[in-house]
Chain A
Amino acid sequence: MKGEASKEFPIMKTSWPIKVLTRKKKKFPSCLLSLSSPPDKLYYRGNWQSVLWERSLVVVGSRRITNYGMYVLEQFIPYLVSQGVTIISGFMYGVDTQAHRQCLQTGGKTVAVLGNGLEVIYPPENEKLYWQILKKGGVIVSEYPPSMKARLWTFPRRNRLMVALASLGVLVVEAGENSGSLVTARWAEKLKKPLFAVPGPINSSVSLGTNWLIKTGKAKMVTTPEEILGEKHKKDFSSQAKGSFSGYSPEEREILLLLAEEPLSLDEIAAALEKRIEEVSRQVSLLNLKGAIEEKGSRFWLKVSLEKNS
């Protein structure tokens, strides 16, 4: 895979030259001028259109994404993309990378703001993603000269740029205790941008930060992507509701009802239903093939909701 990417590399490089925006140019985003120390120059690659910034949201989170974080991104990003939202993120491991990926997969445009020069691809595993962002009409931005390597202080500064560029605000998906995402949250506060956080399990170390943001009232708690776009949340528990799943056998329904509460492993399903493991694994395989559930890590997650079935 690596070989493939590096073969592509030279052609891509020439087709995406690094361009510079100075403060004097028209294109220079006016939102950055309100910063106390706006960058003198902005380096970028890709197709810079002002439309990109009209509805843009920063999505950040832990470098160590969990299955729960993946689930949140899968629930949120497709909807946001369908509403024409540009996803801005920091090109780091974990939530950042997955947010970019998820956005590209659903056909959206995404912006990566780097903490290093544009010629440095860091983390190197994301090289393919780097070019994909550009190919799909996104932009990669940095305020640092092209060959500059990342330093410890460049990342927090990068966060301020990200936040300033976002028109809709900042969404924190998963954040640990001393996460860089909390720095981003602080910038959102300073720049008076709306801050959203997705609550997480209280026993998860990478949800400590997000839950703290919610608890202290710094962030608005969101559980559906609609809430970010300002729509009033209806009192609708349909996706979590208990109900019948029509179209499935009684044994399958038992498993689906169980998974509607929380994702479980095969062993846990078998223990809860007090059934033999052989039997459960067979039914779970069939449900998986039917697309009713999916497997992540060693647990199975419910994919269908009640609405789709009734």
Chain B
Amino acid sequence: MLTKVLSVASLGLKTIPVEVEVNINKKGFPGFQIIGLGNKAVEEAKERVRTALVNSGISFPTAKIVVNLAPADVPKEGTCYDLPIALGILGALGLVKLPKKKVLFYGELSLDGSLRHTKGVFLLAITAREKGIKEVFIPYLSANEAAVVEGIKVFPVKTLRQLTAHFNGIEKISPWRFKKMEEEEVVSDFDFAEIIGQEQAKRALEIAAAGGHNVFMQGPPGAGKTMLARALPGILPPLSEEESLEVTKIYSLSGNIPPGGSLIRTRPFRAVHHTVSRVGLIGGGSQPHPGEISLAHSGVLFLDELPEFSRSVLEALRQPLEDGEVNIARAAGSVKFPARFMLVAAANPCPCGFLGDPYHQCRCSPRQIARYQNKLSGPLMDRIDIHLTLSPVKTKNLMGHQKAKGESSATIRRRVVKARQVQQKRFADLKIHSNAEMGNKEVKKFCPLTSEADALLHQAVANFHLSARSFFRLLKVARTIADLEGEEKITASCLAEALQYRFRFSSS
């Protein structure tokens, strides 16, 4: 007997409906086959389904079972077909009355017949709404993730037994009611008030957070580069509704939403180790998966020890930095992942780290230093708005008498949020969200200068030999400073401050 059950397959962030066809033929040589370009995880569904059914008290038929995942030419992966296959078999055996209307099934089976938290549930819910499908059956632990999407009924399934009982009218499963998560407190590893000294760096990060600017920090070990970066999430503005949905999609696809979790409300902060592969950072694979840059979408990508990253990995960053998305082309089709992130990079001034440090001697040869710094120069640095050089903090200042505690992250965050609101109003009709995303056209339109500032700008261009690129970057940073100050036009003092964060060639 033949049954058909609906599920979905994901291709990047897009999903397509998949029909799971199950046929059980009592004649012929007994066996169990899954066709339709499934990967190893799909292939192994056979054993999971068989064992789960047996452990749920159903005698597995000795017959020729063929499962087809249609359309059969689209590659499929993952464990989400366990539930539809199991249900299809139950239907084909006549043990369950399958619903007449279109319903989606999705979820991984445990060997004991219960359902496990499965990734991609959020994407499934969105597909359901788009295709006008009213009901979805998903694992209990993933229910809250799907229930965010309005207009569909989410049935949380704990076990196979419960599902059969539901369809056979013995005991109905009640639809899940979305549980709003409590507004999460922004948690960062450090508060800005804890960081002693480095006032300039703190101010620079405030500007960066307010305008979404990329930041590069250079300084000897122990200057506090990593600590500053880790404190950054504490001053980032909250995600907007639209951003939150986008981030949740990516997190759902990559299985980064914990059981019971739902919408992502805080900006992602991804610290990537320098041994990361290109695919790990950018995304890819034969079935394209989002990389770290997409996981950092709308948030922060932190690359510590930047020169230690392999060159090909750094080169691959350039296009996404420019476009805010990454295109992964495969024979089966190309996939687009959003990747609009704020890059925070840190580096030592030389391989040993002590170049220019007044208290330690640098042990690197000039050639080593040149090679190290060469990796930093060029196109990548060209895409960074705020450049910082940190000096080590004297240990004597770390102990005991600090004059005044610095501002707390919460205070700074309030200013950042205010500046972001100004930008939201400014870019309401455009596709951009922050000052950092402005193109040259927008810079000309939205960065009016006072006459005093204009004179200063001319002077700066001549004296500091600013390139066209750094000229526009300077104006963008000045725009953000003006937004923080609540100025309509960019004043001379805003511009003067922005000058401190420009890129200096060959700092020796």
Contact = CB atoms under 8 A, between A and B. Distances in A.
Interface in B472-508: 493, 496-497, 499-500, 504, 507-508
Interface string B439-475: 0000000000000000010011001000000000000
A67 B199 contact: no
A274 B403 CA distance: 10
Contacts of A203: 358-359
A289 B200 contact: no
Interface residues on A, range: 35 or more
Interface stretch (A8-16, A81-89, A129-137, A279-287): A279-287
Interface size class on chain B is: 20 to 34
Contact of A63 (B198, B366, B500): B366
Nearest to B501: A281
Interface stretch (A37-45, A106-114, A237-245, A263-271): A263-271
A282 B496 contact: yes
Of the listed residues B199, B359, B403, the one surrounded by the most CB atoms of chain A closer than 10 A to its CB is B199
A281 B389 contact: no
A70 interface: yes
Nearest to B404: A274
Interface in B207-255: 219
Contact of B391 (A67, A204, A206, A265): A265
A281 B497 contact: yes
A298 B459 contact: no
Contacts of A288: 463, 499
A281 B200 contact: yes
Given A266-B500, A281-B497, A289-B460, A298 B361 contact: no
B128 to A, nearest CB: 51
Interface string B43-82: 0000000000000000000000000000000000000000
B508 A277 contact: no
Interface string A270-310: 11001001100111111011010001111100000000000
A217 interface: no
Contact of B493 (A94, A123, A282, A297): A282
B496 A64 contact: no
Nearest to B500: A281
Nearest to B201: A267
Contacts of A265: 200, 391
Contacts of A295: 504
B390 A298 contact: yes
Contacts of A49: none
A28 interface: no
Contacts of B366: 63-64, 93-94, 123, 125
B396 interface: no
Interface string A121-158: 00101000000000000000000000000000000000
Contacts of A67: 356, 508
Contacts of A282: 493, 496-497
A205 interface: yes
A297 B200 contact: no
A123 B390 contact: no
A68 to B, nearest CB: 10
A274 to B, nearest CB: 8
Contacts of B95: none
B508 A298 contact: no
Given A277-B200, A282-B493, A282-B496, A125 B367 contact: yes
B417 to A, nearest CB: 19
B370 interface: yes
Nearest to B364: A64
B311 interface: no
Interface in A88-105: 93-94
Contacts of A66: 356
B366 to A, nearest CB: 4
B496 A267 contact: no
A242 B203 CA distance: 32
Nearest to A287: B496
A285 B508 contact: no
A270 B497 CA distance: 14
Interface string A6-41: 000000000000000000000000000000000000
B473 to A, nearest CB: 15
A267 B391 contact: yes
Interface string B353-371: 0001011011001110010
Nearest to A206: B361
B197 interface: yes
A205 B370 contact: no
Per CB-CB distance, the 7 closest pairs between chain A and chain B, nearest first, are A298-B389, A285-B496, A277-B199, A282-B496, A93-B366, A285-B499, A205-B361
Interface of B: 197-200, 202-203, 219, 356, 358-359, 361-362, 365-367, 370, 389-391, 403, 456, 459-460, 463, 493, 496-497, 499-500, 504, 507-508
Interface of A: 63-64, 66-67, 70, 93-94, 123, 125, 203-206, 265-268, 270-271, 274, 277-278, 281-286, 288-289, 291, 295-299
Given A297-B507, A299-B391, 16 more contacts: A67-B508, A93-B365, A266-B500, A268-B391, A271-B199, A277-B199, A281-B203, A281-B500, A282-B493, A284-B500, A289-B460, A295-B504, A297-B508, A298-B356, A298-B390, A298-B391
